[in-house]
Each structure stands twice: as structure tokens, then as C-alpha cells.
Structure 1
Amino acid sequence: MGSDLAPAGAATRRPEGFDDFVRSRGGALLRFAYVLCGDAHLAEDIVQEVLARMHPRWARVTVMDSPEAYVRTAVVRQFLSWRRRRSAGEAVVAEVPEPPGFEEPQQRVLARDQMWQLLAGLPRAQRAVLVLRFYCDLPDADIAALLDCRETTVRSQAARALARMRTMLGEVRGDG
């Protein structure tokens, strides 16, 4: 470790104002907080919280023997407080699960492109049935009326179309 993490009494220059202190020791405080928590963003939050609390009472802090030691102690206490708060409501996981139905934009584009290709491989009547059923969310009776056919025809066309799409998807993936 470098001299930035040296004990508080090792500093030879004693900044007089809050801004001077933050400019001269802010980086060292950030590194100190990072060593404590191992997370750069959390370290920034901890140091910012401590400095925000110190600012209004800085005049009282500077009359102490070692203002930096006082601030470091506050950083440690804030870190422990964050750890308690985090452990009470959050669980650490190896991988953040995605919300249901959420995919990366690239995956959505690929899936949409694949769907267009699968639909394009269907006969027009089957394609129309699937679009009306799944995209327009129409019941079979309405689809039959639009296509001027029976409801049983709509159901059989949908079943054939889905079976054909599964077959084409299997061929694309190399399943069969």
C-alpha cells in the first residue's frame, strides 16, 4: 500500500478548510473506503455520505488532534452501517436474474428476425392465422369470419403452422 493509506497522523500538511481537505485527502479516503468494501461505487457513496455529514460541522472537526482520523473512523462506521443495511434487505448472487420477459436488445432483435424468417416459410393462410391469433389476439371465431372459413379450419391451420415452425426451428438449430 502507498503512503495515501498511511495513518492519519502521518500527514504533514493540515488543511484548514473543508474544500482543501476534500481536495487533498479525498482520493485517499476513496481508496480507503474501496479497500474496506471492495466496490468502487459503494466506496464513493460511503465517502460522499460521510463528507456530506461532516461539512456542516467541519469547524468542530478541525479543532481535533487529527481530523483525518475522525473522518476515517466515520468512513468505517458508515461502511459497517451500509453492510448492516445491505445484509438486512439484499442477497448477494453470482448473476443478476433478468426480469421475466426481459432480454438483451440484441437477443430481441435476433428473436424477431428469426420469427420473421419462420413466418415467411409458412404458406400464406397459415401465416395469416398465426398473425391474427397471436399478434392481433383474435379468437378463432373472428379469425374464421375474416378468412371466410370454419373455426376447425383455423385450428388445424394454426396447428400445422406451429408444427412447421417447430420443424424449421429444429433444422436451424441442428436438432433434426
Structure 2
Amino acid sequence: MARWQEALEALVRTRGAALVGYAYLLCGDRREAEDLVQDALVKTFTRGRLGLEPTNLEGYVRRAVLTTYLDGFRRRRRWAAIRHLTGASEATGAHDVATDARLDVAAALAVLSPRERTCVVLRYYDDLTVAEIAATLALSEGAVKRYLSDGVHRLEPALGSLAGDLTSGDLPEPETIPVELTRRTR
């Protein structure tokens, strides 16, 4: 048996209960105290220590118990402070709103002609430019603009105003559509 294994066995046999008692005073839970001592022993014995006497090692292990406990406490406190930033709200109504919006968009798209629907989906869902849509569908850019304009005007009664003033010749940007278009499988 290696010298470090003998020192570890001697430390656990003679001072194990005292170390767990010390950890218990820190955390207040017997199981967590045992875990703290085990983690501290691993941290202490993975590094080569010169003084392998149980009296010297106990100080190292106690310090490792304290450090491990404080690191865990800081981690839990930090997580409690930022936990609300990582998850969605627990309210169940948020799903209903998203589902209703998707159903509204699907119903509104159903009233468009196939070319209008294709142009609107490519523009606002796939975020293609007019030129890219024209190349994809083998249409002229003017035809794409016309399909987009007609499609947007036909969607407005169902979805509300999708664009500001279209009289300037500018087409609405994708960010101006208030709901997310869903992909449809054919």
C-alpha cells in the first residue's frame, strides 16, 4: 500500500468523525457534511502533500471542507440571483397566446393564392430579399413585389397592420410582422 493511502486511512479512522462533525456545523445536514468531507479528501489527496502525518493532513482537509462549502454556497446564491433570467415564465397562458397567434397566421395564409403565399413566406419567414425570391421562383422582381404587396394587403384584415406606409414603394421588413409564421409540411 502506498504511503498516501496509509495516511488517508489513518486520517479517516482517527479523525473522520471530527471532520464530518466540522462539516455538519457548516452546512447543518449530515449527508451534505459527509459529501463535503469526501470532496475535501479527494481535493487534498489528489495534490501531493509533503507532510503526510494525520495531524498535518487534518488542517488541509478542514480548509478544503470550508472552501468547498463556501464555493457551493456562493454558487447557490449566485444561481438564485440569476435563475429568473434563464427560464421562461411559469405562467401557462403564454402557450395559449403563441398557439392562438400561430393559428391566426395559418388561417390568414390560407386565404392567399399559392404565389402570394409563397412570396410572403419566403420574404417574412425565410427572410429572403426580393431578388432572392425572384431567382428562387423564376419570376421578375416586379412580379414578386406585386405578389408581396397583394399578399400583405390581404393578410392585414386578419392579422392587423403588417406594414407602415407602402405608398413609398418600400416593402415591410420581416420584423414588422407581429407573429411568427410556422413552417408547413406538404
TM class by shorter chain equals 0.3 to 0.5
Question: Relative contact order, CA 8 A, sep 6+: which one is greater?
Answer: 2
TM-score normalised according to structure 1 size: 0.44
